[in-house]
Every structure is written in C-alpha cells, then in structure tokens.
Amino acid sequence: MRHPASRHLLTLFVVACVACGTTVRSAFATELRMTPIVKAVQGVKESIVNIHGHKTISTASALGDAPRQVNGMGTGVIVDERGYIITNQHVVEGVRRIQVTLNGGTTYVAQLIAFDEKTDLALIKVDAEKPLPVITTGTSTDLMPGETVIAVGNAYGYENSVTRGIISALHRTVQVSDTQKYYDLIQTDASINPGNSGGPLLNIDGEMIGINVAVRVGAQGIGFAIPVDTVMDIASQLMSIQRLDQHWHGIAGETKYLDGIAYLQVNAVDPNSPASLCGVQAGDVITAIEDLEVCRMLDVERALLDRETGEEVSLKLKRGEGDEKSLSLVLQGQGGANQYVDAAWELLGIRVQSVPSNEFRSNNSRYRGGLRITAVKAYSPAARQQIRVGDVLVGMHEWETISVDNLEYILKSDIIAQKRPIKFYILRDNETYYGDIAVANYRVR
C-alpha cells in the first residue's frame, strides 16, 4: 500500500515531467503492453532466421528461354543448436549461395543438407561460433479453428515481420502449380506474404505449430502452413544419423500425447540393431538420451548426431508401469556394405535403409521388402527423377532391392559399369512408380 504522502509526491513528479516534455512510463502501462503476442514473439525471435539468395530462372522471350537472375528470400527456424535450420525447399532450390541472417544481424553462408520435395521442406546448416537457440515446438494435433496464431518472417524482404490472425480451417489440400500440391495444411488469415515461406506459425503460447508455405494468389487473408508434426517427422528423416554420419540406431518411434504432454513411444526395433542389442523394446517410452530430453524422433537423431562409432550413449526409458530404466546404447556403422551405400549416394543421389519385412506386411504390400530413401542429394539423378525422402526402392532393372546386399550386387553390375540408365521401381503411398535413372560419374571400388 502506497503512503498518502508518496502519492502526492508522485503527482508532483508526473506534472513536472509533463511540463518539461519528459515521457512518463509507469510500471502498470509496461505490464499492459507485454501482451501474450509480444511474449510469444520475444520467446522465439532468436531462433528465427532470414534467408536471402540469388537464383537463375528461365523466362520465355522471342529468342527462346532467356535466363535471368532473381533475388530469393525466405525464412527458416533453428531446430538444432549446431546450426541446423528447417525451411521450405522452394526457398533454397537453385540458390548457389544461401545467406542466412540471425536475429542479431550476423550473416552466414549455409549448406543445403537435404530436402523432401513432396512436403516442400529442406534442411540447411550454418557453422556458427556458438550454440544457437532452438525453436520451441508445440503440436498440430489439437489445433482449433478460431484460435489466435502469429506468423513471423521475412515478408517482401522486411525482416522479422510479425502478423497475427486466427486459424481459419484445418486439413486443406492446395494445388499451387502443375507440379506442386500440398496436403493437410493449416489455413490462416494471418498475413503471409512472399518471404514468409519457411517461417513459423506460432500459437499464443509461443510454440511453433506450423511452417508457413503458401498464399492464395489474388486473395486476402488466405495463407497456409505445414503442420508442425509433419515438419518434425520430415526433419528427423533429413537429419538422421544414418544419412549424416552413416551410423545406425534401429529405433522407429511415434510422438504421442498424454494430458497435453508429448512423449516418444517405440513402435519397432530393427533386429540386431544397437537399440535391440542394448534392450530397447517396442512399446518403450524413451525419455532422454544423455542430457537431451526426448519427445520426438528428431530428438533421437539430434542426441546421437556427431558421435563416434563404438561410442556408448546413456539412454533412459519407461516400460509399462515400471520405473525408469537406464540402458547403454553403443553406436554402430551401417555395416560392411558402407562403400556401396556411399556409392549409391554418389552414383544415384540417394541414401537408403532397410525396411522391416513386417512393415510391408502391415501395409498389405505385394513386395517382399525394400530400401527406404532417407535422403536425396540436390540436383542428383534421383532428384531429377523426383524421387523423394520416404519413398521405398523396391527394385532396379530386373532385381529386387530388399537389402543393402541387393544394392551392392546392382551397383557392381555391368549396367552400372557401362553408365547406362537403369529402370527403378519405388513404392509411394502404396502406389508403384517407375522410371529410368541416369548414373553419375563415380567409380565403385
């Protein structure tokens, strides 16, 4: 309680300040200005980056297709403190020099690590001098039409622009071009403009619930975002230790929610994998790896990234109603066929991992097995054939591709040695697609 005398003195102080032109900022006014939206933006601004670059496009003219340089811009979010950033694939596609500017103004040149054309997501990386802040993620499973959302991005080159709106609808399918169609998008009336692509859509708690991806041309107040749960699933594939480190853990998991709390439940464990050998079982809930809390498959990949073959890693999990268990997982390489996994990367532009046979049975597939595409190299033969992360390679030429051993046999064949295009067969959404893939210049030792 304020003393009456102090109230009189405060009044005199305010009058004196007004008389001399001094601005008065009371603690009460400042508190009112710190709205939930302000707090949400301040909480994530350090983990949002602006992306710039130049790309060459062809334009029709009387003399044919004339290439011209255009300025590209977009936004990204930091998903790992080592500098890994998720953005839209169309933001960085064709950009030779990807420039990333942090919130503080520091600019780096980023490397394109991998992308998924189907979802229009890409993983890029900058080499910063210190750990970078990671964006706070929510979930897209409980979104409600009408709830407040916030979009942050590099709109029309105006860096760190903030707009707000509501969720207008969920599960939208949007055709933006003859070659690009999006599924299960969040529709919002928060202003999303060119340059916002790859930036976060936030809820009122400051959690990322989507990645802004598209606007409806000619319409006002109609924008779209990729749900964050889809983003995080694709990010875990693009950032897998099998792709980046040629290591293997053997865990397949799914994020679930209990009373709004996310947790990672193990769905399957590959036989004879590091996870299987250390005692991880289907149904286990992984809570931590070393000092990183785990609630998504992306956390598993982040915790195991940049470690040495044979390194022992502490893993904590819960099984059933029992107490938390501590296990020691020992990282392994991908096996003796590593050189052929590397050769597939150099010759075709793909990295692969075996798909458990029970997964094929559960999907009613007529194939006996296959190799899941875990990464596609930019501008590679596979990328030109529109092969995507998540596709399953089930055959090449006249041979099945059930295991890496099958891949080894094919890569050592005369067809590869002669650098002839080879027919491939992939499984995507239980549909079979095929084509002829060229072979890059690379010697298989």
| Strand, helix or coil for residue 209 | strand
120 catalytic, yes or no?
A: yes
Instruction: State the Cα angle at 265 between 43 and 198, rounded to 5°.
Output: 35
From the candidates 47, 52, 116, 120, which is the catalytic residue? 120
3-state helix, strand, coil in the chain (%, to 5): 20, 40, 35
Give, in order, the Cα–Cα distances in Å from 159 to each of 50, 155, 166, 435: 7, 7, 22, 42
90 catalytic, yes or no?
A: yes
Q: What is the end-to-end Cα distance of the chain in Å, rounded? A: 83
DSSP E strands in 221-284: the ranges are: 223-227, 247-248, 251-258, 261-269
From the candidates 197, 236, 240, 365, which is the catalytic residue? 197
Running DSSP on this structure, what letter comes out for residue 47? G
Hey, how many other C-beta atoms are within 10 angstroms of the C-beta on 393?
25
Q: Which helix (H) or strand (E) holds 35?
A: none
From the candidates 47, 52, 80, 90, which is the catalytic residue? 90
Angle between helix 404-411 and 338-347 (nearest 10): 60
Query: How far apart are the C-alpha atoms of 286 and 274, rounded to whole Å?
Result: 15
Query: How far apart are the C-alpha atoms of 225 and 207, rounded to whole Å?
Result: 14
Running DSSP on this structure, what letter comes out for residue 367? S
Query: How far apart are the C-alpha atoms of 376 and 389, rounded to whole Å?
Result: 6
247 catalytic, yes or no?
A: no
Long-range contact pairs involving 53-59 (C-beta distance under 8 Å, separation at least 24):
53/92, 53/95, 53/96, 53/97, 53/98, 53/99, 54/95, 54/96, 54/97, 55/93, 55/94, 55/95, 55/96, 56/94, 57/94
Instruction: State the Cα angle at 85 between 280 and 244, rounded to 5°.
Output: 50
Query: How far apart are the C-alpha atoms of 195 and 50, rounded to whole Å?
Result: 9
Which residues belong to the active site?
Answer: 90, 120, 197
